A and B are shown apart, each in its own frame.
Chain A
Amino acid sequence: MQDDATILNDTLDRLLSARVTPGLLRAAEEGTWPGALWQELVGLGLTEIFRGMSDRPWRDAAVVMRMAGRHALPLPLPETILASALLPEEEFDPLEPIAIIAWEEGEEAAWPWPDQVRRAIGISRDGTAHWLAREGEIGAPARSLTREPRHAARVKRGFSSGADARLLAALMRAAQMAGAIERVLALTVEHARTRVQFGKAISAFQAVQHQLAVLAGNAAAAAASVDAAFARQDRSEMPVRGGMAVRDTMAERDMMVAKIHAGEAAGLGAAIAHQLHGAIGFTDEHTLHFYTRRLWSWRAQFGNESEWARELGRTICAAGADSLWLAIATRD
């Protein structure tokens, strides 16, 4: 990681450690918008990464998205940053939170934070991005496992782009998952070193050590695939703003790979973490579930592992057996 990305990473880690307390998380899940924190994050310029604030905006966006995952940040900051990359310059206001949601033409939307978030990018299964504004009364709750306040809502559609925005949204979730998995690993290592049974820390048991080694390996693979996909976005010549007119197939490949790895590591990592935490990790009081619930939810959003694996597999098979290696052995 370059120096300025490291600084951003560490600054944000310290800030979010201090601000995103279990208390704040619980309040947010009960519907209290952490407005002061939103102001503070916007004040740092984080929603302006794609507006000339950074020479490698995707790398910096990845840092913020991972940190948001690591701290289970209950604000649509990753979404707003991605929206800033997708929307035409004149449509974007860095102070305004924007959601990114799954949405199909003619349907109601599951709209997060309906009192605070007025506009969203709705992404349909075919990858089209629609610029949406919320209309009328707020409907019934439609919460996900993240417990982010979300309600059914009617929307007014603005322009649509033919872009494949769905993969970018999938990559955003992959980055958040990579961050949350890192946190789950750290919590579980800490727990294993401090929980004593049979007269010793449970980390002394080899069965426990090996479970954690598996978790660490999968966490590392998820992080590596996410970093690579973001690094490629910065190198890609294809603009995403206003829609990816020309497709960058390598960038698409790497985004799929990232979502597949992060999703797999999410399932496996959450299972291992809960197993090693024992009953305490199954309680509402413990903080582990703030991360594992998000992992279960993000894993399914904007295409789960098997959906993207099917897509990638079809491309590979269509190219034929003798082209398989060519698709793997790229220079970057």
Chain B
Amino acid sequence: MQALSFEPCELGPETDVLRARIRAFIAEHVEGLPPELRAQSWSAADPEFSAKLGAAGFIGMTWPRHYGGHAMSALERYVVLEELLAAGAPVGAHWIADRQSGPLLMRFGTRAQCERVLPPITRGELFCCIGMSEPDTGSDLAGVSARAVRSGDGWCVNGTKLWTSGAQVSHYMIALLRTSTESKHGGLTQFLIDMKTPGITVRPIRDLSGAAHFNEVVFEDVWLPADAIIGKEGEGWNQVTAELAYERSGPERFLSSFRLLVELVRVLGQNPDARAAVAIGRLAAHLITLRRMSLAVAAKLALGEDPALEAAIVKDLGAVFEQEIPEIAAALVPVEPSLDHPRAFERVLAQVIMIAPSFSLRGGTREILRGIIARGLGLR
């Protein structure tokens, strides 16, 4: 049984200045947005917003200065992220590039790739999407079948990626492709694909809320230069799994329905009945603890440790929490959710009820996460 640890982690006093800066930015650029848009938080892509955020120095915060970054600590970055998410800022356009594509390229990519892609990411002008899932490949990710075959001095790609969030606004995809059929896990390679390359078709897919954040991306004889490879041929699986701790433990894994909690507190008023007070106190307690656990994982990542098990726990508990909020809100306030209601609560409730099912799917399903935790416990 692997030892689990979530060491209490304090943010330094220097983060107060930064927090004040991002709060001022939010007051100017987020607080006037409609509540139902803010309820979508990191699903909503707004390239103009991302450009403003980049110009203010809030993207690529931990990256080195020569790549346009701001050489800050992981915990300083955390402060900015949590403030943006709590406010429901429309961070979706640059979110993936900032969270995982940039760090992945710095770890496994070439200097030339980093120089090309990272500086515009930090300016909020270049966005990335993740091409992992396919029509027949979901949880069993190693089953990827979209193929890259050597062709001339480059590669030729055919196949389909599915559920690719933000592909329609992205400039690059980081795709996991099959380069060999001889080994399931060892035959995978990551590529940095310019979305303007001929042969790529992006079809937005409407989700049940009516929005189209994710896409089908079809590759037909798409030619990639040799330097599109990220890291080493055949190392795709290991590189992808290294990405996952970043993907799973951030504040977006428990703040997705925070705007609804805010609106719930607003409608309950300053003197709620006992039942409502119990529910709010309990949710607040869970939120405080999830944040602590997530900060503890961020601190470990910053030290170069690999807290994959802890990250899976944060995401699993976080999704339960995020999905409980609409349940509890609906139980305490007996109104019909409606996107057109004059009051913000009904609109935010409607929005969150509809997107909540995705919280325990995206980024690894609940069942897959629990399997990872069980492995950490030595059960499999």
Contact = CB atoms under 8 A, between A and B. Distances in A.
B83 to A, nearest CB: 7
A149 B293 CA distance: 38
At the interface, is chain A mostly helix, strand, loop or mixed?
helix
Nearest to B366: A210
Interface stretch (B1-9, B148-156, B214-222): B1-9
A326 B369 CA distance: 31
Contacts of A311: 277, 281
Contacts of A192: 379
A309 B281 contact: yes
Interface in B247-291: 258, 261-263, 265-266, 268-272, 274, 276-282, 284-291
Nearest to B15: A331
Contact of A221 (B8, B87, B317): B317
Contact of A224 (B11, B258, B280, B292): B292
Given A257-B288, A313-B277, A314-B272, A224 B6 contact: yes
A246 interface: no
B13 A331 contact: yes
Interface residues of A, number: 55
Interface in A146-195: 186, 189, 192-193
Contacts of A186: 1
B10 interface: yes
Nearest to B367: A210
9 contacts: A212-B379, A216-B4, A217-B373, A261-B289, A306-B282, A314-B277, A318-B270, A325-B86, A327-B284
A227 B289 CA distance: 11
B349 interface: no
Nearest to B11: A331
Interface stretch (A29-37, A90-98, A123-131, A201-209): A201-209
B380 interface: yes
A312 interface: yes
B313 interface: yes
Nearest to A261: B289
A206 B1 CA distance: 17
At the interface, is chain B mostly helix, strand, loop or mixed?
helix
B265 A210 contact: no
A322 B373 CA distance: 36
Contacts of A316: 265, 280-281, 284
A115 to B, nearest CB: 39
A310 B278 contact: yes
Interface of B: 1, 4, 6-8, 10-13, 15-16, 19, 82-83, 86-87, 258, 261-263, 265-266, 268-272, 274, 276-282, 284-293, 296, 310, 313, 316-317, 367, 369-371, 373-374, 376-380
B379 A256 contact: no
Given A217-B373, A220-B313, A314-B281, A209 B6 contact: no
A313 B281 contact: yes
Interface in A270-327: 305-306, 308-314, 316-322, 324-325, 327
A193 to B, nearest CB: 7
B377 A310 contact: no
A140 interface: no
Contacts of A212: 373-374, 377, 379
Given A231-B8, A318-B271, A216 B377 contact: yes
A257 B289 contact: yes
Contacts of B316: 213, 217
B8 A227 contact: yes
B313 A216 contact: yes
Given A210-B370, A317-B268, A328 B287 contact: yes
A310 B274 contact: yes
B261 A224 contact: no
Looking at B265, B288, B313, B370, the one whose CB has the most chain A CB atoms below 10 A away is B288
A191 to B, nearest CB: 11
Given A189-B379, A256-B285, A209 B8 contact: no
B380 A329 contact: no
Contacts of B281: 256, 260, 308-314, 316
A253 interface: yes
A118 to B, nearest CB: 37
A223 B6 contact: yes
